[in-house]
């Protein structure tokens, strides 16, 4: 979950490019001076000073404020900001309408918190005064919308929350917020902005202070690295398991070299980023149980849930190290996975230090283990190829593996895939950093399509694909998402795997009650979504290309037409895949 080196914020707030008149103008100009290029928002009555500021000074490409990106729902706005960060590595800013807008966005804030995404989350609040100052209450809702503790809705999820109390502190508060968000472990912060404060005249001294420096990330204790290197070098089957080290895309190549140079295996299960190329000669696959059977030294790198003991865990005699920016995941109330060694470090620094420590031990590494790892990895690929051929030869309903293989055939290596739950990564075979993202650890649905839109906005040259289930698609407020795609010219391909149910509900019930009464079908179904609407029409309603696919031989041609629509015609596309 660590990400690339904190972006260098422009050094001088004194470089503000205009004479500001109001605190709202000063706030927006300061955001832009600090490197915030867009403000994702869902506006309300609290935005009056923000709207006035944009009306006076937002003019064209050289505008002094962040580009406003209005979204028709709060989850869309925060999801777009999340996706923009994933592609740029730079903090993003969002703004919502007082308490009710914040409430709508809590799911997205939790996704960002658990995946350590640095967002400046802001919201207005009900005006402070019932009458008097400019910006005081002028609508009946201002009484009902006020809360005793608006920030309390998400205080457990954010790193910091505060309220801008006076225009004279705008620089100090904004710099504090952005610095805390970008400091490791990164995450969202929350700032409320009273309307009267934003409407105040700006202090003449605005721009007098330098931006705060973001602290560097932690580096591992040298003795701990030496111990880890010693155990990995001496092991018969050492394996690194990563879930989110690839959040820093600059770690992918060094990790690949480390594994190859020192004959170390790599495995993953439900990884949220591309941590190692799928074609790496020591990639041992996407299931941990077979690896645990033989691995005698395991290094878990940025793994919040390294294993589930109910299904499989490391051998009792295996050495287990847990490493990352917060290897004990202090914000998780319960987490009891064992660790013989625990190392706090960024993924990048740990890989570099471990490389140096292993180099001194390279001569003592058993030469035969490289052959064992290569053969095991080759067997994984042979089994995958055999499974692909068997899947391709089948008839009947369309399966997830079949769709993944078809996508692998039509997408180039530079395409970006957002996978919300259902797409198996093995047949997809992604190899490049920032080409694959999985649902955040918190599992807040509705993320995939909105994040894909944000990614497309900041990386317009990339083909971006959102792979979502039917339930997740409905959670995404699809009309709002397709509206944004059309409004901002963001041609994203959406592939919906539509089995007319929440499969996770059935999976969980079967896991707990495999022979339970629920199987009788006598009780009401809690997972059935039928009848599903014609989902492809959502894209069509916003000028996009939509198709419904129910047969296997229809899928590949439909995907090719959709990719053409996105890449050549510049139109969004949606393929509604009726699957099993």
Residue 194 has pLDDT above 60, yes or no: yes
Is residue 7 within 8 Å of residue 213, measured between CB atoms? Answer: no
What is the average per-residue pLDDT within 87-93? 98
Dihedral angle of Cα 85, 438, 108, 153, to the nearest 10 degrees:
-120
Residue 107 has pLDDT above 80, yes or no: yes
- What string of DSSP letters covers 206-226? TT-SBPPPPPPPP---HHHHH
Residue 176 has pLDDT above 80, yes or no: yes
- What string of DSSP letters covers 529-558? -PSPP-THHHHHHTT-EEEEE-SHHHHHHH
What is the tens place of the pLDDT at every residue in 274-296?
Answer: 999 999 999 999 999 999 999 99
What is the tens place of the pLDDT at every residue in 366-394?
Answer: 999 999 999 999 999 999 999 999 999 99
The residues, ordered by sequence, that sit 6+ positions from 167 with a Cβ below 8 Å of its Cβ are 23, 26, 197, 200, 201, 202, 203
DSSP state of 364: G
pLDDT, position 3: 42
Which residue in 170, 213, 210 sits closest to 12, CA to CA? 210
Its sign, for the CA torsion 22, 27, 30, 31, is negative
What is the average per-residue pLDDT within 535-555? 97
Residue 251, sorted as left (phi over 0), alpha (psi -120 to 50) or beta, turns out to be alpha
Say what the pTM is.
0.94
Residue 207 has pLDDT above 60, yes or no: no
Q: How confident is the model at residue 502 (pLDDT cuts 50, 70, 90)?
A: confident
pLDDT, position 11: 35
DSSP state of 519: G
Percent of the chain exceeding pLDDT 90 equals 87
What is the tens place of the pLDDT at every residue in 10-64?
Answer: 333 345 556 789 999 999 999 999 999 999 999 999 999 999 999 988 765 567 8
Outline where 61-205 has alpha helix (H).
74-88, 98-114, 141-144, 170-182, 195-199
Its sign, for the CA torsion 473, 479, 485, 486, is positive
pLDDT, position 525: 87
pLDDT, position 578: 97
pLDDT, position 211: 82
Residue 38: strand, helix, or coil: strand
pLDDT, position 111: 98
Outline where 322-366 has alpha helix (H).
347-359
- Domains of the chain, CATH where assigned: 13-199 (3.40.50.970), 222-379 (3.40.50.1220), 394-578 (3.40.50.970)
Name the pairing type of β-strands 341-344 and 416-420.
unpaired
* Secondary element (H or E) of residue 32: helix 23-33
Residue 229 has pLDDT above 70, yes or no: yes
Q: Could you count the other beta carbons within 10 Å of the beta carbon of residue 29? A: 27
What is the tens place of the pLDDT at every residue in 416-428?
Answer: 999 998 899 999 9
pLDDT, position 10: 36
Phi and psi at residue 114, in whole multiples of 5°?
-70, -25
Q: How confident is the model at residue 256 (pLDDT cuts 50, 70, 90)?
A: very high
pLDDT, position 54: 93
pLDDT, position 479: 97
What is the average per-residue pLDDT within 312-323? 97
Residue 507: strand, helix, or coil: helix
pLDDT, position 367: 92
pLDDT, position 454: 98
pLDDT, position 241: 98
Percent of the chain exceeding pLDDT 70 equals 95
What is the tens place of the pLDDT at every residue in 395-418?
Answer: 999 999 999 999 999 999 999 999
Residue 521 has pLDDT above 70, yes or no: yes
């Amino acid at each position: 979950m660590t990400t690339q080196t904190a972006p260098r914020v422009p050094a001088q707030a004194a470089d503000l490019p205009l004479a500001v008149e109001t605190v709202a103008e000063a706030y927006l100009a300061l955001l832009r001076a600090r490197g915030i290029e867009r403000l994702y928002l869902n506006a309300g009555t609290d935005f009056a000073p923000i709207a006035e500021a944009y009306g006076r000074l937002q003019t064209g490409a050289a505008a002094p404020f962040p580009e406003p990106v209005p979204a028709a729902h709060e989850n869309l706005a925060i999801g777009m900001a999340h996706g923009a960060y994933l592609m740029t590595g730079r903090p993003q800013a969002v703004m919502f309408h007082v308490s009710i807008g914040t409430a709508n966005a809590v799911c997205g804030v939790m996704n960002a918190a658990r995946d350590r995404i640095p967002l400046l989350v802001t919201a207005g609040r009900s005006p402070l005064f019932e009458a008097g100052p400019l910006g005081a209450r002028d609508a009946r809702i201002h009484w009902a919308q006020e809360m005793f503790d608006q920030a309390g809705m998400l205080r457990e999820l954010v790193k910091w929350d505060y309220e801008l109390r006076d225009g004279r502190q705008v620089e100090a508060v904004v710099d504090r917020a952005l610095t805390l968000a970008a400091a490791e472990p990164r995450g969202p912060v929350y700032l409320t902005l009273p309307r009267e404060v934003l409407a105040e005249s700006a202090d003449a001294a605005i721009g007098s202070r330098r931006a705060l420096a973001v602290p560097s990330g932690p580096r591992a204790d040298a003795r701990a690295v030496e111990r880890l290197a010693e155990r990995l070098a001496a092991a018969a089957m050492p394996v690194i398991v990563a879930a989110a080290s690839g959040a820093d895309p600059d770690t992918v190549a060094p990790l690949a070299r480390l594994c190859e140079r020192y004959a170390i295996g790599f495995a993953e299960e439900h990884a949220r980023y591309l941590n190692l190329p799928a074609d790496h000669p020591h990639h041992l696959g996407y299931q941990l149980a077979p690896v645990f059977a033989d691995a005698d030294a395991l290094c878990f790198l940025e793994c919040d849930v390294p294993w589930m003991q109910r299904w499989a865990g490391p051998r009792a005699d295996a050495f287990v190290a847990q490493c990352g920016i917060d290897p004990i995941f202090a914000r998780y109330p319960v987490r009891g996975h064992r660790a013989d060694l625990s190392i706090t470090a960024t993924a990048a620094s740990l890989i570099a230090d471990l490389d140096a420590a292993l180099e001194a031990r390279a001569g003592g590494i058993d030469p035969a283990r490289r052959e064992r790892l290569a053969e095991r990895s080759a067997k994984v690929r042979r089994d995958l190829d055999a499974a692909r051929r068997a899947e391709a030869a089948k008839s009947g309903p369309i399966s997830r593996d079949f769709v993944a293989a078809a996508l692998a055939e039509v997408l180039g290596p530079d395409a970006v895939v957002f996978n919300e739950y259902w797409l198996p990564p093995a047949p997809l075979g992604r190899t490049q950093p920032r080409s694959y993202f999985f649902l955040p650890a918190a599992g807040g649905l509705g993320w995939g399509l909105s994040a894909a839109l944000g990614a497309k906005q900041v990386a317009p040259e990339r083909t971006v694909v959102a792979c979502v289930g039917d339930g997740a698609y409905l959670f995404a407020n699809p009309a709002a998402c397709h509206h944004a795609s059309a409004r901002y010219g963001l041609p994203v391909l959406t592939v919906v795997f539509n089995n007319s149910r929440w499969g996770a509900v059935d999976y969980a019930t079967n896991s707990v009650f495999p022979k339970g009464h629920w199987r009788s079908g006598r009780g009401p179904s809690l997972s059935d979504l039928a009848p599903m609407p014609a989902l492809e029409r959502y894209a069509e309603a916003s000028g996009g290309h939509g198709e419904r696919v129910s047969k296997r031989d229809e899928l590949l041609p439909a995907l090719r037409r959709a990719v053409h629509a996105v890449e050549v015609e510049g139109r969004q596309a949606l393929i509604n895949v009726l699957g099993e």
